[in-house]
Amino acid sequence: MSSLQQACAIIPAYREERFIRSVVSTVRNHLPTVFVVDDCSPDETGSEAAAAGATVLRHSVNKGKGAAIKTGLRAAAERGLEYYFFLDGDGQHDPDEIPRFWDELQHNAGDLIVGNRMNDLASMPLIRKWTNLFMSWQIGRICGQPLPDSQCGFRLASRRLLETLLQSSDGFAFETETLLLAAEHGYRISFVPVRTIYRDEVSKIRPVRDTFRYIQILAKYQKAARERRLAAISGVGREVSQP
């Protein structure tokens, strides 16, 4: 059986001095190693994370959530770690739910395990609920499997996915593209229920730019999925027509 000594948490953080110390402290109740990637925060995010016991990696310029996660992934790989938990630094993910992901990994041997908040919608803003439902349905169609919560950033990935994860986008589309790439490469994606937590934090998503990037990514993978289906149909047709 795998050991949590082989696992770490990777927390991308930008302007999270309010919550990051508490998040890191709670994560460290479960995991020995926590990387906080400070994405050029103008506040005390990095020092607060370090005070709680995290290894802090700092970007000299703001690069985006996906880029921050990839910085953490490279550091974790250099240490030879095998499993990567992803959490946000704003308290929206409850670190005490880490064992749920680990249990799923041990019992079902998934490659990418994603938190599912859709059974706990009371505190989710209505616009986010409907956006998530629509996005999850649309991305699930491309992936060819149900994805109950495609936008949850609380995840566990095995090292087998490392190169795939490093191909994903640098911004907030990282979570979406990670699912698309994992499905495209045949990795097993599973879900575990997690709490839905919203506070008074302001979203860091930039609506125009990030929405445009989502549309680009979905169009790219929709095209690839169509091409695979057509290739499969053509292959079957050739086999049938052979004497």
Nearest one of 153, 111, 141, 158 to 218, comparing CA atoms = 141
Residue ranges of alpha helices (H) inside the chain are 20-27, 45-51, 65-78, 98-108, 126-143, 162-166, 174-184, 207-241
Q: 21 CB contacts (<8 Å, ≥6 apart)?
A: 48, 49, 51, 52
Rounded Cα gap, residues 120 and 122, in angstroms: 6
Q: Residue 226 to residues 139, 145, 223: CA-CA distances in angstroms? A: 14, 15, 5
**Cβ-based neighbour number of residue 142 at 10 Å:** 22
Rounded Cα gap, residues 225 and 218, in angstroms: 10
For residue 26, the model assigns a pLDDT of: 98
Cβ contact 140:147 at 8 Å: yes
User: What strands, in cross-sheet order, belong to the sheet with 189-193?
Assistant: 55-58, 33-38, 7-13, 83-86, 155-158, 112-116, 189-193
For residue 127, the model assigns a pLDDT of: 76
Q: Is the dihedral of CA 93, 99, 104, 109 positive or negative?
A: positive
pTM (predicted TM-score): 0.84
Residue written as token pair 């249990």: 103
Task: Give backbone dihedrals phi and psi of 205, rounded to 5 degrees, phi first.
Answer: -70, 130
For residue 180, the model assigns a pLDDT of: 92
**Cβ-based neighbour number of residue 130 at 10 Å:** 11
Rounded Cα gap, residues 179 and 191, in angstroms: 12
Q: Is 6 helix (H, G, I), strand (E, B) or coil?
A: helix
Task: Tell me the CATH number of domain 4-207, given options 3.40.50.300, 3.40.50.720, 3.30.420.10, 3.90.550.10.
Answer: 3.90.550.10
What residues are paired with 9 via a beta bridge?
34, 85
Q: Mind listing the pLDDT tens digit of every residue in the chain (243 residues)?
A: 568 899 999 999 999 999 999 999 999 999 999 999 999 999 999 999 999 999 999 999 999 999 999 999 999 999 999 999 999 999 999 999 999 999 999 888 789 999 998 886 666 767 777 777 888 888 888 888 889 998 899 999 999 999 999 998 888 788 899 999 999 899 999 999 999 887 665 555 555 565 667 677 777 776 766 666 666 676 655 554 555
What residues are paired with 84 via a beta bridge?
8, 157
